[in-house]
Amino acid sequence: MKKTSTRLADGRELIYYDLEDGVARDAVDRRPLEPAGLVHSEIRHDRLLGDAVAVASHRQGRTYHPPADECPLCPSREGRMSEIPDSSYDVVVFENRFPSLVGDSGRCEVVCFTQNHDASFADLTEEQAALVLSAWTDRTAELGELPAVSQVFCFENRGEEIGVTLGHPHGQIYAYPFVTPRTALMLRSLADHRERTGRNLFDDTVADELADGRRIVLDTEHWTAFVPYAAHWPYELHLYPKRRVPDLIALDDAARAEFPRVYLELLGRFDRIFGPAGAPGDDAGAAAGTAEAVTPPTPYISAWHQAPTGDLASFGVARHDFALHLELFTIRRTSGKLKFLAGSESGMSVFINDVPPEAAAERLREVASR
């Protein structure tokens, strides 16, 4: 992997990650952009819930579903400059032009997985997926060293149903100046379990799923994927390395080498849950009687959970007690129907799942690659 760092016209950092060492990256961003330092965000703390909200009013003006030939994540070309100055790339990471977190409030980055506008992460080769993993790891290491950063979160939102406003295959990285509420809950559960049993909660969770077996979707030499016992979403997968590590940086070479094959297989299965992508389905549109609809790609969120960067003594645990894992889920509950967060979920954070986790796991095993 070759890493090349440069600056965009407004001062934001952009980093090329290339598969070949000999690639030269010297293209210059010539767009007339205002300095990036003019935008700011504010972190406000909720006194009742104890969590935080980022206020970033400048995001109202962010790019919204542009035509494909005006995509800001495609390479630049003659007469059409984008966020990527060069005419091609393998993987690119750059500071978000419309960040939720900025300055002392953290940092937001965009990760472009491929220059191919019409692709998806599932379409990448194993070599390309490995390069994305290297980029995630590198950014986790660098962002984690920033004084204001307490937690690094690598994730991908895919599909308009999720709320994605750019169709180009990409993800994001948030560097938070605090420990996120979801991670804080995990850390408290981790400490409580250690106090009650003397064991590690993450280790016991994976061991219990393996012993039960009904919700295991994939079990390889270095990774285990399962639908959790109390899954919140209709189809939800958790992926753990066999050796517990706190973050992407600590993954060993064997787990790192096997990850692309495992992850691409799981993403492929997600696209086949409701029928082969591009095959006739029962989604809206066929009902009109004019033509058969096709099954669209499955919308999903894919999220890496990593240990916070600092000392965790205040939570009653050590950093090495945390287990790196990936959570992958979709809001689609059946073909043509989405799960919307209703009163119980949105108002009280009590989820109601329409799909039994055992049934979801069985379906995800059925759609394995042959």
Tell me whether residue 58 is one of the annotated catalytic residues.
no
Residue 303 covered by a domain = no
pLDDT value, residue 137: 98
Domain end (from 152, 176, 200): 176
Same domain (yes/no): 170, 200? no
Catalytic entry in 170, 193, 238, 325: 170
Q: Quick check: 41 pLDDT over 70?
A: yes
Same domain (yes/no): 245, 342? yes
Sheet holding 2-7, edge to edge: 2-7, 13-18, 91-95, 107-112, 170-176, 151-158, 300-305, 325-330, 235-241, 223-226, 216-219
Same domain (yes/no): 336, 287? yes
Q: Quick check: 128 pLDDT over 90?
A: yes
Q: Quick check: 290 pLDDT over 50?
A: no
Using alpha carbons, list the distances in angstroms from residue 166 to 29, 73, 96, 139: 21, 8, 13, 22
| Residue whose C-alpha is closest to residue 175's, from 112, 102, 91, 111 | 102
Domain end (from 176, 199, 224): 176
Determine which of 119-128, 161-170, 358-367 has the lowest per-residue pLDDT on average.
161-170
Same domain (yes/no): 193, 279? yes
Same domain (yes/no): 190, 171? no
Full domain range(s) for residue 191? 184-298+319-366
Residue 78 covered by a domain = yes
pLDDT value, residue 277: 56
Specify the number of domains making up the chain: 2
pLDDT value, residue 353: 95
Residue 249 covered by a domain = yes
Same domain (yes/no): 200, 331? yes
pLDDT value, residue 293: 57
pLDDT value, residue 60: 75
pLDDT tens digits for range 42-70 = 999 999 999 999 998 888 767 767 888 89
Asked if 137 and 248 touch (Cβ cutoff 8 Å), the reply is yes
Same domain (yes/no): 70, 205? no
Q: Quick check: 268 pLDDT over 50?
A: yes
31 vs 278, more confident: 31
Looking at the DSSP assignment, which residues form a beta bridge with residue 332? 338
Give the confidence band of 79 by pLDDT, cuts at 50, 70, 90: confident
Rounded mean pLDDT, 13-23: 96
**How many helices (H) and strands (E) are present in the chain, helices listed first?**
6, 15
Rounded mean pLDDT, 32-36: 90
Rounded mean pLDDT, 114-131: 97
Please, what is the end-to-end C-alpha distance for the chain in angstroms? 31
Rounded mean pLDDT, 322-326: 98
Rounded mean pLDDT, 179-197: 98
Residue 92 covered by a domain = yes
Same domain (yes/no): 81, 109? yes
Give the confidence band of 282 by pLDDT, cuts at 50, 70, 90: very low
pLDDT tens digits for range 218-258 = 999 999 999 999 999 999 999 999 999 999 999 999 999 99
Structure tokens at 181: 């509420």
- Of 95-99, 166-170, 282-286, 323-327, the range with the highest mean pLDDT is 323-327
| Residue whose C-alpha is closest to residue 103's, from 160, 156, 38 | 38
Structure tokens at 88: 């091609």
Interacting residues of 2 by C-beta distance below 8 A, sequence separation 6+: 16, 17, 18, 19, 20, 21, 22, 23
What CATH number is attached to the domain comprising 39?
3.30.428.10
Same domain (yes/no): 138, 200? no
Same domain (yes/no): 23, 92? yes
Q: Could you tell me what percent of the chain has a pLDDT over 90?
A: 84
Asked if 264 and 124 touch (Cβ cutoff 8 Å), the reply is yes
Q: How far apart are CA 218 and CA 216, in angstroms?
A: 6
pLDDT value, residue 294: 65
Residue 304 covered by a domain = no
Domain end (from 176, 202, 236): 176
Q: How far apart are CA 326 and CA 68, in angstroms?
A: 30
Same domain (yes/no): 169, 189? no
Q: What is the DSSP letter of 285?
A: T
Does an H or E element contain 305, and which? Answer: strand 300-305
Give the confidence band of 39 by pLDDT, cuts at 50, 70, 90: confident
Residue 312 covered by a domain = no
Residue 305 covered by a domain = no
Same domain (yes/no): 125, 19? yes
Residue 195 covered by a domain = yes
**Averaged pLDDT score across all residues of the chain:** 92
Asked if 335 and 274 touch (Cβ cutoff 8 Å), the reply is yes
